[in-house]
Amino acid sequence: MTPDETIEQLAAWFEDRFAQLRSLADTLTSILNLDADGMLVLSSTARREMKSAASDFLQQHLVVDGCGLIFAHSSLGTKSGRLEWWVREDESRFARYSFGVVPGGDRYYNYEQHEWFIRAFEEGRSAAVGPFIDYLGVEVYIMTLTVPAVVEGQRVGAVGNDLQIDDLERALLPMLQQCETDLVVLSRHGNVLVSNTAEFLPGELVSDPRPGYRFVALPDVTDGIRVMVAG
């Protein structure tokens, strides 16, 4: 397979991931509504329906490690945050993860300062951020994808999912290995996500093309993901 054909496959794979995430966002936000003051209404019924939607998503997409809706503080009218986030325990069991969302509390998670939240909620675009060490305490690299969460025309947060880099590699490496040319998939900041050459390891920073390589950008929806191609 030629480098261009492989890059087309990579672009299609990431575009599909974001299309599936936007579909999840549509499902989760359709469950919610706003009160007369423009604040979110999050009933126990809505939370049960969100749990079902997130569980279905994890069941259908084995490459995804966790998913859910991350609420902007302003949409809740509180100083504390809220995440309806579900993680994979095994192939058929999923659990809601409880985060520290009270300022000053134990292990406070100030998620509104994270790039994946800022780009989706404040800028209203899709985001692909990572690799970085998982907040949940598991010593693994992950990548987070997010899209805006919109209810009744108002942005209320972000819908996202986490991909463990090991799982991302298992999904993409067979595709990369069909090409005899060295290919390195990079995040928008130049960190290696996956490669078909042992010369580049996940997380390694590549700011400029190495001698004998060139950069090829993937579609805009992938938030700056690009491929470094030999030759």
Backbone angles phi, psi at 46, to 5 degrees: -60, -40
For residue 107, what pLDDT is reported? 81
| The pLDDT value given to residue 135 | 63
Specify which residues 142 forms β-bridges with.
Answer: 132, 164
Write down which residue in 130, 164, 198 finishes a domain: 164
Q: Could you list the mean pLDDT of each consecutive 10-residue stretch along the chain, which spans 231 residues?
A: 96 97 98 95 94 96 95 93 90 84 84 96 96 71 96 98 94 96 96 95 93 96 96 86
Does 149 lie in the same domain as 201?
Answer: no
Q: What is the pLDDT of residue 138?
A: 57
Q: How confident is the model at residue 103, as a pLDDT?
A: 85
Rounded CA-CA distance 154/20 in Å is 21
63 plus 112 within the same structural domain: yes
Q: Domain check: are 121 and 77 in the same one?
A: yes
**Same-domain status, 211 and 223:** yes
Range of the domain at 55: 3-164
- The reported pTM is 0.94
Q: Which residues share a beta bridge with 150?
A: 155
Tell which of 149, 164, 179 closes a domain: 164
pLDDT score recorded for residue 137: 54
CATH number of domain containing 24: 3.30.450.20
136 and 99 assigned to the same domain? yes
Q: Are 88 and 58 in contact (CB under 8 A)?
A: yes
- Same domain for 150 and 172: no
Q: Is residue 102 domain-shared with residue 117, that is, in the same domain?
A: yes
Residues 112 and 17 in one domain: yes
Same structural domain for residues 26 and 134?
yes
- Predicted pLDDT at 7: 97
Domain count of the fold of the chain: 2
Same domain assignment for residues 94 and 207: no
Q: Which of 164, 182, 207 is the last residue of a domain?
A: 164
Q: Are residues 156 and 173 in the same domain?
A: no
158 and 51 co-located in one domain: yes
- Which residues are CB-neighbours of 184 under 8 A, at least 6 positions away? 192, 195, 197, 200, 206, 213, 227, 228
